[in-house]
Every structure is written in structure tokens, then in C-alpha cells.
Structure 1
Amino acid sequence: MTTWLNMTLQDSASPVMEQLIYFHDHALMIMLMIITAVFYTMVSIIQNKQTSRFMLEGQMIETVWTIAPAIILVFIAIPSLRLLYLMDEIHNPVMTLSAVGHQWYWSYEYSDFTKVEFDSYMIQQEDQQVDTFRLLDTDNRIVLPMNSPVRLIVTAADVLHSWTVPSLGVKTDATPGRLNQVSFSINRPGLLYGQCSEICGA
């Protein structure tokens, strides 16, 4: 869900998204090293004039190509597991926001202080201004505090939905009859865009 002239991930607006971007770069660096090693091996084999037609097995090379991928997987798994636990942590939230998915809008409720409920519809194409994003801008926006833990409780009223804001690194399923919760903290002010990241009902 990129905006104009954006070819990479969105700028992070939460500590979790910063860590996700670091992990993305870490995994790509490992992939680049693997691709370089495989390409070098292919070129060196093609250019090599010697043949080994009578070699039936090589204990050393078989050991290396079994252990090396296992070590590489450990270097990917450890930061991945750390991130999974980091995303599931819920510290004492200063506020709770409830989101209910509908076809084709979201209902929000602030209930910590004064109970406030409203629906958030996508702005129709004929009503959009020049500086708005198609299929992203809504008529009512939620407002959340910065540098404070926020808990989001998500459910659906009709079919499966998925509430997501990529800049926050948050995505959670909205299932009818089930409450899912996720927490996040916003570390920069700004207007962040999200939408249902599921083919609703599929």
C-alpha cells in the first residue's frame, strides 16, 4: 500500500516498525551473500577445465552444505523470534481503541473516558480533493496520542477483515465473534494511512 513515488517500505512511525525494517534489511543482506556465493560457484564451475567424473561422494562438502544453511537459518530465526515476542508485548496502555470491521467501513469507539463512537468511510472518488490519496482517505479519522502505549481491540460485524497500518507495523485480523488485541506506540506525529488488508470475507 504505497503512496506516490514510494518504491520501498513506508517510513516507520513506531519502534516495532523500525525493528521490522532492520530485520527486512538483515534478511536481504543474508540473501545477497547467498546469491553471490551461488553465482561465484556457478561461474567457477563453468570456467573450470578440470573434471571429476569418478568422484562418487565428498564427505567434507556434504557436511559443509548441510551445516552452513542451518547456521544461516539460526541467524534469521533469532531476530525473527525476538520480533515476534516484541510485537505481542502489551504494556500498561494509556488508552484503548475498539475497531469493528464492516463491509465497507470501520466503526471506532473510544471508551476510556467519555464514550465516543463513529464510523469511518472511505471518501468516494468524486468527492476527493487533489491532495488526497485514492482508496486511503476517510471522512472521519482516529486521533491517537504519541509516545504512549495504545491498545487496539479488533473484531468484525459481518465477514473477515484485517486492520492494518503499515507505518506502525500493525496488522491484526478482525473475525466475527472474536476479539483480537494488539498494542503499539507512535513515536512521530503525522497522518498515517491504513486499510483492510484482506479480501473481505475471503
Structure 2
Amino acid sequence: MFRLRTKFFIVPFLVSGCATTTVQYEEPTVGDIAKVRFVASGHHVGEAVVVGFDNSECENGKNRVSLFAKMHGNFTKSKRVGIPLWSYGDYAANAKEFLFEADKPHNFLIFKRPGGLGTSISCGSFISTSFEKDRNYEIDFDTNGCRAIVYEIQENDGDYSRVLALIGNTNISSMPNRCIREYNNRIGTKIPVKEPKLK
């Protein structure tokens, strides 16, 4: 299968006090494809990172997307693939669009890093979902409430609207132990892992 490799570099001086993340994601160029927009909304000033996993057990985590909430413009050209209801300008750090393989499981952790002088706390949300062929989606990570919401962008007589499809899991302690460890390592928390059940 042929794949197109896309790299994103966020310039460090654009956000004071934030470590930036170089993101590398290979978009599919053949097969069944869906379009997905990632958005960081809310008033948190800092970086939001999307990590993708091979499965719902959080194996082989890789950074997918780096977003900056509350920033609608910088020196980085927007990443777009033609999803309707774009309202973020030509130079947007808080919204990026990608092609994803359709009709297969996708597993993400979306988390925020503290911004500025560290007055905000880090937190995140897990999503396990699939995308249907030739459809448009938006995953909005509200950095205020640390909740990720998946919408399908549907068309009806030429009008587009966001339709709720899924709300991400913020109850981290309910996740598999590998996911809890990933969360702790990336966010700096100390949520205890679950003890194995005795037979």
C-alpha cells in the first residue's frame, strides 16, 4: 500500500512556556478513507497532543497531531483535506484535518500540556471509534473540561451540521493498565493501576 508521509513542525517561540511536539503521521492514499478534523477548543493556552494506539489496550503509542488551543493564526499553514464547516482561517494552530482509514478501529489519547507559567493542569481523554467510508468527522477536545467529543458532519439539502457520535472516556482509572501507564507517563499523573484479579 502506498502512503503519503506528512510532517508538522510547530515553531517553539509561538507559545511561551510550551514544549512543542514534532508529529509524523502517514495518511492513506488508497482504499476506503474518511476525513477527520481535530480541534482544540477552550481557553487553555498551550499544546494539545493526539496520540494514536494500535489497539484499545494502548499498544505502540505514536503522536498523531499537535494543536494549540486559543490560537487561530501563526506562521504554519493550515492542514486541510476539505471537511465542511471550517471556520479557523488559513493559518490555524488549533485545527488540522487528516485522511484516516475507514471501517477499522482507531484509538486515541488526547491530552493537554500546561501552558504559560503552568497555571493550568494537564489532563486527557481516550477515544475508541471507527470512521465510515467517505464521511466527515470532527473530534473536538475541550481543553477547559478535558473532554473529547466526536461529531459526524452531516449534509441535509446542502446544509451541514455537527451530529454527536461519541464522547471520550475521562475516567482514566477504568482503562486497561497499559493505558493508565501511558497516561501517567505522558501527563505526569500517578493514577494507580488495577491489581490483577486472584483466581
- Whose relative contact order is higher, 1 or 2, with alpha carbons under 8 Å and at least 6 apart? 1
Tell me which protein shows more strand as a share of its residues.
2
Q: Is the TM value for this pair above 0.5?
A: no
TM-score, normalised via structure 2 length = 0.28
Structure number with greater Rg is 1
